[in-house]
Amino acid sequence: MGQALGCIQVDQSNVVIKETFGKFAEVLEPGCHCLPWCFGSQAAGYLSLRIQQLDIRCETKTKDNVFVTVVASIQYRALAEKASDAFYKLSNTREQIQAYVFDVIRASVPKLDLDSTFEQKNDIARSVESELEKAMSVYGYEIVQTLIVDIEPDVHVKRAMNEINAAARMRVAANDKAEAEKILQIKRAEGEAEAKYLSGIGIARQRQAIVDGLRDSVLAFSSNVPGTTSKDVMDMVLVTQYFDTMKEIGASSKSSSVFIPHGPGAVKDIASQIREGLLQASSTTTRR
């Protein structure tokens, strides 16, 4: 109805291209404007000044022959002072931007290997933005921001990269496990050495206590029973030790069978053999 009366309303963040008899006349700002159609004035089209976003997926190859898909996000807008250029010079803005992005990405990524592509994606984004800024400013568009939002390698390459990473982590884990086992073995060996050392000290003290006890027994028996000699006391001690040994062998359920002579005469023979062995060892030590 407004156009029939020669009036038009332009919304905020938009402009209208006004033509007179098919020729560009002016750019109409937001507000209400009069377009007398009887004088050949008409609205050729609307142009938005808002920021628009274009997501582009570009497949290319890296320097080490790995195919990747680079996802770029381009944010752009038309300039109000160059609205006529933006409206008349480009028939399809999005396809034009996409062509420039493809050109820059496919010229930049093949110079980098896969790891460098991930590390230098900001440099790629700056290259795309610089090239687009120079190209699109001629057509009345401003490039607000260019982002490389994702780099997707081929699925087989991605699986191989994950396997390499997993193998490296497993190698580190195995190394740490081996170090832990090494520490445990060292600590266990130190504990066994300390236990044997303390056990040796205990055995030495035990033998010393036995010797001291035997000496005290011989002295006490000789002083309390007149007429006895050290030999008599030692015979009695040996007999006592013999019966204690027999008792221990019988009480142990895990003992092997031991065949030894038994009886008073046998005890006397055992005592004589022990005494002779001690005397022989003593004489050998003296000769040395």
pLDDT in tens, 12-66: 889 998 888 888 888 888 888 888 777 788 888 888 999 999 999 999 988 888 8
Look up residue 140 and give its two tokens. Answer: 């009345």
For 69-154, where are the alpha helices, taking DSSP H only? 83-88, 93-108, 114-119, 121-136
The mean predicted confidence, pLDDT, of the chain is 80
Distance CA 83, CA 7 (A): 21
* pLDDT higher than threshold 90 for residue 272: no
Q: Where are the domains of the chain?
A: 7-48, 52-153, 155-224, 228-252+261-281
The single-letter code of the amino acid at 213 is G
Instruction: Give the model confidence (pLDDT) of 174-221 as tens digits.
Output: 888 888 888 989 988 888 888 888 888 888 887 788 777 767 776 776
- Note the pLDDT of residue 253: 57
**58: enclosing H helix or E strand:** strand 52-61
- Spatial separation of the C-alpha atoms in residues 81 and 20, rounded to whole Å: 20
Third-level CATH fold of 52-153: Tetrahydropterin Synthase; Chain A (3.30.479)
95, 53, 86, 7 alpha-carbon torsion, rounded to 10° = 120
Both tokens assigned to 191? 């504990």
Intra-chain end-to-end CA distance of the chain, in Å? 138
The CA-atom distances, in angstroms, between 137 and each of 95, 140, 235 are 16, 5, 122
Is the pTM value of this prediction over 0.85?
A: no
